């Protein structure tokens, strides 16, 4: 009887085992952990953290002394023109403004015209020539700049193309011409031949049919 019972139990166990599917285990399966909402893989992948831009500006050595930027070079001092009293005589104004440096290309052109056309003339004659150049530039009948007037074709005999002869810049004559140019440009002293636009040396007689304004030194002036 016991032998029959054992045989029956063996048959029942065999039948039960045949109805249960075997567990599927793979090498790629990850261990699972319980979570409140289900099951999640136990493997945690750590992602690299990009450096913060705030940290990128920090020195590599926080204990290193801070370096201060080098100060910008100080600007070159600009020499101011001496104050000139307009009530002074022409000679006093020239003495106050006498210089070898005209200050700009335009002022150099004006001084060059005075120098080559009237450097041997009295100061008043140099002033008259300077005013002719300035009045031409303002007239609308000639070029509108001192250099333009100077280089206008056929107007000044000392000009050759786009250049002039060498100037003795350390000479008193050049320094006087620079001073006269500044006086003319700033209208510090009235011209003795107002609004004259032309002049010639007294030694020549061009026969111009223009109004004669006057003569100063060795030049005759017209408009």
Which of the 8 DSSP states describes residue 156?
-
User: Would you state the CATH architecture of domain 90-190?
Assistant: Orthogonal Bundle (1.10)
The token duo for 102 is 């005209």
Highest mean pLDDT among 35-49, 100-114, 150-164: 100-114
Domain locations in the chain as residue ranges:
90-190
pLDDT tops 50 at residue 22: no
**Model confidence at 38: pLDDT above 80:** no
pLDDT of 85: 86
Q: pTM of the prediction?
A: 0.64
Rounded Cα–Cα distance for residues 117 and 156 (Å): 8
- Count Cα atoms within 13 angstroms, Cβ side, for 1: 0
pLDDT tens figures, 154-196: 999 999 988 999 999 999 999 999 999 999 999 999 999 999 9
């Amino acid at each position: 009887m016991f032998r029959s019972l054992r045989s029956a139990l063996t048959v029942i166990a065999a039948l039960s085992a045949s109805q249960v599917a075997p567990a599927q285990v793979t090498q790629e399966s990850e261990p699972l952990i319980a979570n409140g909402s289900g099951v999640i893989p136990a493997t945690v992948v750590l992602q690299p953290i990009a450096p913060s831009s705030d940290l990128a500006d920090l020195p590599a050595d926080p204990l290193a002394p801070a370096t201060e930027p080098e100060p910008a070079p100080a600007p070159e001092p600009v020499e101011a023109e001496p104050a000139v009293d307009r009530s002074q005589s022409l000679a006093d104004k020239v003495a106050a403004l006498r210089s070898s440096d005209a200050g700009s290309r335009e002022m150099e052109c004006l001084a060059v015209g005075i120098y080559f056309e009237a450097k041997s003339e009295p100061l008043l004659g140099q002033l008259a020539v300077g005013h002719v150049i300035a009045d031409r530039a303002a007239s609308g009948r000639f070029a509108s700049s001192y250099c333009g007037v100077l280089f206008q074709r056929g107007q000044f005999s000392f000009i050759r193309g786009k250049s002039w002869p060498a100037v003795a810049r350390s000479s008193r004559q050049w320094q006087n011409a620079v001073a006269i140019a500044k006086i003319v440009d700033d209208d510090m002293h009235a011209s003795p031949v107002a609004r004259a636009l032309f002049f010639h040396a007294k030694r020549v007689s061009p026969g111009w049919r223009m109004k004669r304004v006057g003569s100063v030194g060795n030049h005759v002036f017209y408009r």
